[in-house]
Structure 1
Amino acid sequence: MEKYMKNLTYESVLPFSEQVSYLNGQVASKTIAQNEALSLTLFAFDKGEEISTHESEGDALVIALDGTGEVTIDGNKHVLHAGQSIVMPARHPHAVFASERFKMFLIVVFPKKGD
């Protein structure tokens, strides 16, 4: 049987936010799936850590799993708490900063080739 996801145990009930661990002074990530159509990644940011401003070719959905994070899109800051989400549109500058320890699930959907 071909598997399309990695780094998770199949057919097991999992505490999803615990599938990535905080590391002091770092941003930790765990890729769940990645191909030309989408990317699924868990992130754990230590307090004060960030992913600096960049752009993506796909629309990105951030789902906050733990703590509080700041997502800046086109220079506008949005505060996310566990259970909240925001969409970062493709080709718009965005960044993520952990005002306290912060875990998030990132889903990026990429355009079809030629779109």
Structure 2
Amino acid sequence: MSYHHIPDLLEEVAPPQNGILSRTLHSEGGIKTVIFAFDSGQELSEHSAAHPAILHILSGQGQLKLGHEEKPAMPGTWVYMPAGLVHAVRAEGPLMMLLTLLPKD
């Protein structure tokens, strides 16, 4: 039996200068986990995914668009998104986020 151990997610990536950095941490059995680091003012524009997903904000401040609603993003914010939900992420300062893509329903 194998496992994947990461002692500190915040040490995995650092927010880049003027951009967004993403890195796949694990992908197996239809589940994919990706860490994102955003520089201040960066955003992922509105989009949807074919898979359900979970967002977990690790550090920083921002705004999430979930369907037609805007929600604050701060350390500890956790969101489950069903497949097909239109969403967006905007960083108001350096922001780190963990995304877990789940198998299709």
Alignment TM class, shorter chain as reference? 0.7 to 0.9
Q: Does 1:88 align with 2:72?
A: no
Q: What is the TM-score of this pair, normalised by structure 1? A: 0.81
Matched to 2:31, the amino acid is: L
CA contact (8 A) 1:21 1:44 kept: yes
Q: Does 1:33 align with 2:26?
A: yes
Q: Percent identity?
A: 28
Partner of 2:60: helix, strand, or coil? strand
The total of aligned residue pairs comes to: 105
Q: CA RMSD in A?
A: 1.9
Gap regions ≥5 residues in structure 2: none
Partner residue of 2:17 out of 21, 24, 27: 24
Shift of 1:34: 2.6
Q: 1:48 & 1:100 partners in 2: Cα distance?
A: 6
In our comparison, the structure showing a higher alpha carbon Rg is 1
Q: 1:33 & 1:85 partners in 2: Cα distance?
A: 19
Partner of 2:61: helix, strand, or coil? strand
Partner of 1:17: helix, strand, or coil? helix
